[in-house]
């Protein structure tokens, strides 16, 4: 009997779509390209952060390789985060390289979440690379309060960046963390400002991630209470609008604009989770609110072939949990998850 010599060769790992144990298709990858940020938002970071050594950080080429492997497996939306993604050196070269997947149609959307500090410099380049929509994190329109929240941010620089993004044709969504006793008196002004400029506005509950100086039980504002307060001033109707993330949207009759609510604490949205998160060190977190993770950096650096990488991705997705375990506990005052959001990716 003749023997086919190719039988002795290793079989390529099959590039099948990613389906987790609960039959959810994984179509959304969030990639933290750096843990560094030019702000120190007091609900996100400690004031004196120790950042990761360069050797532990994925190169831009490695990020492209891992992200492209996910695109090959059916990921249709790719979001770059940080820290602050636009402070990563040569970040536009990575965005330009990843944009090839938009050209082939394999990727529906390439986007990013930013604090806006570098937008004035990069907005037009982002648009030229095929980015059509971005999220800007902004918690107040009060310059002094902004500096207190971010510790050393410049509100005018962020507002100029938003202007530049809109001028470049980017659609901008504002993300606002609802902070009790800090910005709850500004929500009406934020709605008028954002909707007046054609921008959606999403409110987010503070999440118990990483040790910070403040007590999160003092910061925590349930969005159920915020929405009830808004209903006294605005006519809101639930709509089916989705952007691929966990926000639930309403339309405001008075403005015609949309408000989103992201409620990891008061309403667990895990049943429809379609996303995983890659850190700048190559660690894949299958759930934002769990510590279980997979090391994709080792797989990338062990072989020039992507087979090991795809095997590691498959094994990781097979462990994706049904949901997170977030809780804000006044008794222990300990975060549910030890790592900071800047490490995992905002």
Model confidence pLDDT, tens digit, residues 88-111: 999 999 999 999 999 999 999 999
Query: What per-residue confidence (pLDDT) applies to 335?
Result: 45
Give me the chain's average pLDDT, please.
88
Report which DSSP code applies to 15.
Answer: -
Q: Place 10 in a pLDDT band, splitting at 50, 70 and 90.
A: low
Q: How far is CA 4 from the centre of its chain?
A: 48
Query: What per-residue confidence (pLDDT) applies to 263?
Result: 86
The span from the first CA to the last CA of the chain, in angstroms, equals 59
Tokens 């959304």, residue?
28
Residue ranges for the known binding site are 30, 37, 41, 43-44, 79, 83, 113, 137, 173, 207, 270, 273, 275-277, 287
Query: What per-residue confidence (pLDDT) applies to 214?
Result: 54
Please determine, for residue 337, whether its predicted confidence score (pLDDT) is greater than 50.
no
Query: What per-residue confidence (pLDDT) applies to 206?
Result: 85
Query: What per-residue confidence (pLDDT) applies to 159?
Result: 98
Residue 261, H or E segment: strand 258-262
Residue ranges for the known binding site for GTP are 30, 79, 113, 173, 275-277
Q: Place 14 in a pLDDT band, splitting at 50, 70 and 90.
A: confident
What six digits make up the tokens of 277?
A: 């998160």
Residue ranges for the known binding site for S-adenosyl-L-methionine are 43, 83, 137, 207
Q: Place 1 in a pLDDT band, splitting at 50, 70 and 90.
A: very low
The CA R_g of the chain, rounded to the nearest whole Å, is 21
Q: Place 339 in a pLDDT band, splitting at 50, 70 and 90.
A: very low
Query: What per-residue confidence (pLDDT) applies to 215?
Result: 55
Q: Place 344 in a pLDDT band, splitting at 50, 70 and 90.
A: low
Query: What per-residue confidence (pLDDT) applies to 212?
Result: 45
Query: What per-residue confidence (pLDDT) applies to 323?
Result: 74
251: number of Cβ within 10 Å: 15
Domains of the chain, each with CATH number or no CATH = 25-344 (3.20.20.70)
> What mean pLDDT do residues 254-273 have?
81
Please determine, for residue 333, whether its predicted confidence score (pLDDT) is greater than 60.
no
The DSSP annotation for 68-129 comes to: HHHHHTT--EEEEESS-GGGSTTHHHHHHHHTHHHHHTS-SEEEEEE-STTHHHHHHHHHHT
Give yes or no for a contact between 316 and 290, defined as CB atoms under 8 angstroms apart.
no
Q: What is the share, in percent, of the chain residues with pLDDT greater than 90? A: 73
Residue ranges for the known binding site for [4Fe-4S] cluster are 37, 41, 44, 270, 273, 287
Q: Is 287 left (phi over 0), alpha (psi -120 to 50) or beta?
A: beta
Q: Which of 36-45, 262-271, 327-336 has the lowest mean pLDDT?
A: 327-336
How does pLDDT run across 177-231, given as a tens digit for each residue? 999 999 999 999 999 999 999 999 999 998 764 454 555 567 789 999 999 999 9
> What mean pLDDT do residues 140-145 have?
97
214: number of Cβ within 10 Å: 12
Query: What per-residue confidence (pLDDT) applies to 304?
Result: 94
């Amino acid at each position: 009997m003749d023997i086919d010599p190719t039988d002795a060769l290793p079989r390529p790992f099959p590039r099948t779509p990613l389906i987790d144990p609960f039959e959810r298709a994984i179509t959304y990858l969030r990639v933290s390209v750096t843990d560094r940020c030019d702000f120190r938002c007091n609900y996100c970071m400690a004031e004196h952060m120790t950042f990761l050594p360069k050797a532990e950080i994925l190169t831009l080429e490695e990020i492209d390789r891992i992200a492209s492997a996910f695109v090959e497996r059916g990921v249709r939306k790719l979001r770059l985060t940080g820290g602050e993604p636009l402070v990563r050196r040569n970040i536009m070269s990575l965005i330009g390289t990843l944009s090839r997947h938009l050209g082939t149609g394999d990727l529906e959307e390439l986007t990013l979440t930013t604090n806006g500090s570098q937008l004035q410099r990069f907005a037009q380049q982002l648009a030229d690379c095929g980015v059509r929509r971005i999220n800007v994190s902004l918690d107040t329109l009060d310059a002094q309060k902004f500096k207190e929240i971010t510790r050393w941010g410049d509100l005018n620089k962020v507002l100029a960046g938003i202007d530049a993004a809109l001028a470049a044709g980017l659609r901008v969504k504002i993300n606002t963390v609802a902070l009790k006793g800090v910005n709850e008196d500004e929500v009406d002004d934020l709605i008028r400002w954002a909707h007046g400029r054609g921008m959606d506005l999403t409110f987010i509950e503070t999440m118990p991630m990483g040790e910070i100086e403040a007590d999160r039980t003092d910061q925590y504002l349930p969005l159920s209470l915020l929405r009830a307060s808004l209903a006294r001033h605005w006519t809101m109707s639930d709509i089916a609008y989705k952007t691929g993330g966990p926000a639930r949207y309403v339309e405001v009759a008075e403005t015609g604009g949309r408000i989103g609510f992201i409620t990891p604490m008061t309403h667990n949205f895990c049943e429809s989770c379609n996303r995983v998160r890659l850190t700048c060190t190559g660690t894949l977190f299958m759930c934002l609110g769990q510590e279980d993770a997979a090391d994709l950096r080792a797989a990338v650096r062990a072989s020039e072939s992507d087979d090991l990488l795809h095997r590691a991705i498959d094994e990781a997705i097979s462990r994706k949990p049904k949901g997170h375990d977030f809780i804000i506990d006044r008794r222990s005052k300990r975060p549910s998850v030890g790592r900071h959001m800047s490490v995992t990716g905002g």
